[in-house]
Amino acid sequence: MRNQCTRWTAVVIAWTCLARSALAQSEPAADATPAEFGAQARAIYRVVACAGNDALLPNIDAATVAAYCDGLQAAIEKYRANYTVKAESYIAALRPDGLPTTVIYPFGGGDLISALTTYPDATEVTTISLELSGDPRRIAEVDRKQLAASLRQLRGGLAGLLMWNDSKSVTLSKQQRGELPGELSYFMVGLALHGYEPVGLRYFTIRLDGTLHYLTNEEITTADHATAKQLKKNWTPPDFSPAFANAELTFKKVGAGPDAPLRVHRHVAWNLDNDHLPKDAPLLKHLALKGPVSTMTKAASYLLWRDAFSNIRDYLLANMVFMISDSTGIPGQYVQPAGFIQDTYGTFEGSFLGASRTHNDAFRKLWKSNPHRDLPFRYGYLDSSRQFHLLITRRPSAAP
């Protein structure tokens, strides 16, 4: 077990090895009750997403929240009117009927907004990125000065997402410090923008067989002595416990009754390069348990073009039915042998960031070989000439 623990120190289950070594060796007790943070989730939703009818917590300064919400609500309405409505209707015409409602979004950061825009019928969404979800408990203790500073930082990060439809990695990294949980706050804004509200919030680790273990209050208390490690050397290190890496958020439509079906969003904090995601990784086992999936990616630094990320790429090729992406999706060299067809939209003349010449040439040929289809909105990166583009990768049976 010592070698297994050393192997995973760089990833989220490091805490499992260091603070809960028994987790990897045995099943948790059958009567273990997961810690529930639904009340904290709704309190965060009320403050950072400016939504919901819950009263502000006693420690929350109403004037500070009102000033923040004046700017955020205007930005949300502008985004919804200028982007969401347009993108939703366009993408809806590209999706065939009968797609899996389980969605995997690698390199997804805090971008639940785009996941729900791209797949509005999703019943389960899993985002995966280097960022940890965050500690929801601090909302009950933050003072006025801390709240103002945290909301100012959050508002700056949300500006990029609501203006350009993606977030810079360095911005997301910085959100891992402060009195408000950055990733979780982004998710709350995504729910509000699409007319959803949070119901429950739990945190989990992934067992070696890929199944989930939901953390108990006792386990979370035990982990409080430690601070989570960043999942990339040049990332801003988190300032909260490693227990709050992976989150499961349940949500429903605003105004839906208590018996309304719940949807699930899980965020997994994991470095997806092959060094941290070997073929026997618990995360890959967990994803494989889901069966056929719909997928997406965008603004992903062309990582799926690289051999260093071949394991997550191979998982997608083996399990996805349909993928929507910008040019940071999977190049034809890999999708064609796996039996996929690619349809192009907009214009692509080169990668936004420096990337493989071979894949650039192949994508240019792909776009030229397809009929031109206008794309009236940005989906992830622009191309090298600052033009909109979008790529569908699909099984032949999943015709648009």
Q: Cα–Cα distance between 371 and 298 in angstroms, integer?
A: 22
Q: What are the pLDDT digits (tens) for 233-253?
A: 666 677 778 999 999 999 999
Is residue 226 over pLDDT 90?
no
Q: So where are the chain's domains?
A: 34-290, 311-400
Q: According to the model, what pLDDT value does residue 164 have?
A: 59
CB contact burial 122-138 (16+ within 10 A = b; e otherwise): beebbbbbbbbbbbbeb
What would the pLDDT profile of 69-126 be if each residue is shown by its tens digit? 999 998 999 898 889 889 999 999 999 999 999 999 999 988 999 999 999 999 999 9
**Residue 140 pLDDT exceeds 80:** yes
- Percent pLDDT > 90 in the chain is 74
The pLDDT tens digits for 52-80 are: 999 999 999 999 999 999 999 989 998 98
pTM equals 0.89
Largest Cα span, the chain = 61
Output the pLDDT for position 360.
96
> Does 25 have pLDDT greater than 70?
no
